[in-house]
Amino acid sequence: MIDLRQLATDRILVSPSVLSADFGRLSEEIDRVEAAGADVIHLDVMDGHFVPNLTFGSPVIKSLRKKSQMLFDTHLMISEPARYAQAFASAGCDHLTFHLECSERPTGEIIDAIRQTGCTVGISLKPATPPEAIFPWLDRIDLILIMTVEPGFGGQSFMTDQMGKCATIKREILRRKLHVQLEADGGIDAQTIGTVAAHGANMIVSGTGVFGYPEGVKAAIAKLHDATKLLDSAL
C-alpha cells in the first residue's frame, strides 16, 4: 500500500480521473497516464444515492489493482463510507476520501473507520459547504478535496467562486504547519490550472482535461505540472 503522506505538498501532483477514460480498456488507460507522468490515479465511486450517478465499485478496483502499482486516490461519493471502507481497502485502494456532508455516522467515527483499514483519509467538501467546516478535522486527515463542480458527473464547467474557499483552507493548513494535501476536482485543465494552483491546491484531479486534451495525455500532464511555479501565489 502506497502512503499518501510521503508525497510532497509543495509541488503540483496530477491525479487523472479514470471517469473520463475508456472504460473498455481501463488498465491500459492507467498505464498510459502513468507513462505520461501522472503522480496518482483518481477513482470516482458513486452510489446513485449520495450523488445522482453510478460508476464502479470495489470489484473493478480490485481488478485494476492487479495491473497497476500506482497510488489509488479513491473519492467515495457514497452515503455510507464507513460501512464500505474495508471493502475498498481490501480491493487495493491506498487512500479514501469521503464527503463531510454524508450523514451515515459522526465525522470522527468515519475517519477512525477508514484509519482502521490502513488507508489514509481525506474529506471532500461540496461547493455550498463553507471552508470553516473542515477546520475541526484538519489535524486528523491527510487530504482535503475541494469540489470545483457539483459532484456526480464528469465534464462540468469549473466554478471559479470556489477559489476563495481553497485559499482559506490552504492558509489554515500553512498556519498550523500541517502536512495535508489540498486537492481540487472539477473542470480543471490547461486553462484553469493557473488559478487553482495560485489559490493553494497542489493535488489536481483532471478527467477530460487529461484524457480529452487535444495534444495528448503527456502534454496535458506536463501543462498541469508546470503550474507548480504558481502554487500559493494568490494567498
Q: Element (H or E) spanning 31, and its range?
A: helix 26-35
14 beta partners:
204
Active site residue 112: no
Q: What's phi and psi for 217, nearest 5 deg?
A: -70, -35
Spot the catalytic one: 39, 73, 185, 189: 185
Domain boundaries, the chain: 4-230
Helical residues (DSSP H) of 138-216, grouped into ranges: 163-176, 193-198, 208-211
Active-site annotation holds for 39: no
According to the model, what pLDDT value does residue 153 have?
A: 67
| Architecture of the domain spanning 4-230 | Alpha-Beta Barrel (3.20)
| Cβ-based neighbour number of residue 124 at 10 Å | 23
Cell of 205: 484531479
- How much is the pTM? 0.96
The CA-CA-CA angle for residues 82, 85, 88, to 5°, reads 160
Query: How confident is the model at residue 187, as a pLDDT?
Result: 94
Q: Which residues of the chain have pLDDT under 70?
A: 1, 153-155
